[in-house]
Amino acid sequence: MGVGTVWFVGAGPGDPELITVKGRDLIVRAGAILFAGSLVNEAATRWAPPGCVIADSKDMTLEQMSAWLIANAARCDTVVRLQTGDPALYGALIELVQPLDAAGVPVAVVPGVSSAMASAAAAVESFTLPEVTQTTIFTRVEGRTPMPDGEDLAALAAHRCTLCIFLSITLLHKVEAGLREAGWPEDAPVLVVHKASWPGEERIVRGTLATIKQQCREAGIVSQAMVIASPTLGARQWPELIRSRLYDPSFTHRFRKATT
Ligand code: SAH
């Protein structure tokens, strides 16, 4: 049986240039690539070598995907499973790794730029600000996948930290309800980024708890979008910002002596 390794590679959020150098190098020498839908197609086809077997997993079941990966690991050294963003977030990583473990196929993971980070970059926002919030939660609202106890949005939003809400653009009514239940005001800023980092296709919608659903409806955004609710949003325009201690002249740390 096979000696090849199956590499789970984060393809990044959409811009083919946002794959890591390591991820690209693996594609360049891959014998087989299984990619997850149109999102990561471009990175696969741009760098795959001639003769590389490339398949789209969008119509495959989990069993078919693992069978495909195992079969290809039997005949080539490098098999790549290309996933959007980072493989550790909403990517069915463990469901795919378990059958490979059972088949004795070596597995490795290469991280990727998550769409959460690409969305912050697109909008020039920071998830953390000194004395505003120092915490970011990656979550979703309940769709067909149930939310475990204690993880409904209202409970998480009670922390008043940054919330990156995946897989929820068609469920904005639930996002709104969760934020309201946690006491977020109607004018709390909410950001939606559609196709973050996609060249020429990225769209940024800035609204509030009261307006964001209508704005997204008017913009026709119904998929591939990140919803971010955070007390840090819009800080670029704040007249007074509490500066990070790290860069404060009066703060001494390992690399710099205080000057005041
Ligand atoms: N592993 C991926 C997430 C996969 S779940 C990651 O780390 O980004 C799919 C969800 O990710 C989508 O419903 C959407 O909320 C978000 N998403 C993926 N690509 C995106 C992009 N380019 N812009 C905005 N949101 C994106």
Task: Give residue 141's pLDDT.
Answer: 97
Q: Shortest CA distance to 15 belongs to which of 127, 109, 115?
A: 115
256 Cα–ligand 1 center, Å:
39
CATH code assigned at 48: 3.40.1010.10
177 by DSSP, 3-state: which?
A: helix
Q: Is the CB of 191 under 6 A from ligand 1?
A: no
DSSP for residue 256: B
* pLDDT score for 185: 97
Least trusted range by pLDDT, from 25-39, 90-104, 167-181: 25-39
Say what the pLDDT of residue 247 is: 66
Q: Is 109 in the pocket of ligand 1 (CB under 6 A)?
A: no
Q: Would you say the CB of residue 57 lies under 6 angstroms from ligand 1? A: no
119, 233: one domain: yes
Number of domains the chain is built from: 2
Q: Based on the domain organization, do 58 and 123 belong to the same domain? A: no
Same domain, 165 and 88: no
Both 77 and 138 in one domain: the answer is no
- Look at residue 97 and tell me if it is in a domain: yes
- Spatial neighbors of 226 by CB under 8 A, at least 6 apart, are 115, 116, 119, 164, 165, 166, 192, 193, 196
Asked if residue 80 lies in contact with residue 32, where contact means CB atoms within 8 angstroms, the answer is yes
- Residue 115 CA: which ligand 1 atom is closest? 8
CATH number for the domain spanning 163: value is 3.30.950.10
Residue 211 has pLDDT above 90, yes or no: yes
pLDDT computed for residue 248 by the predictor: 65
Q: Which two tokens stand for residue 169?
A: 């653009």
For residue 140 and ligand 1, the question of a CB distance below 6 A is answered with no
The average pLDDT across 105-125 equals 98
Query: Concatenated DSSP letters for 220-242?
Result: T--SSEEEEE-TTTTGGG-S--P
Asked whether residue 167 falls in the same domain as residue 199, the answer is yes
The amino acid at residue 230 is S
Same domain, 233 and 119: yes
Q: Is 228 in the pocket of ligand 1 (CB under 6 A)?
A: no
Ligand 1 geometric centre to CA of 37 (Å) = 12
Q: What is the pTM of this model?
A: 0.93
φ, ψ of residue 42 to 5 degrees: the values are -60, -45
Sign of CA dihedral 87, 90, 96, 97: positive
**pLDDT computed for residue 239 by the predictor:** 86
The pick from 86, 113, 115 for probing ligand 1's pocket by mutation, whose C-beta has the most ligand atoms within 8 angstroms, reads 115
Alpha-carbon span 186 to 203, nearest angstrom = 23
Distance 251 CA to ligand 1 centre (A): 38
Q: Is residue 90 domain-shared with residue 120, that is, in the same domain?
A: no
E strand residue ranges, the chain: 5-10, 32-35, 53-56, 78-83, 107-110, 136-140, 162-166, 189-194, 203-208, 225-229
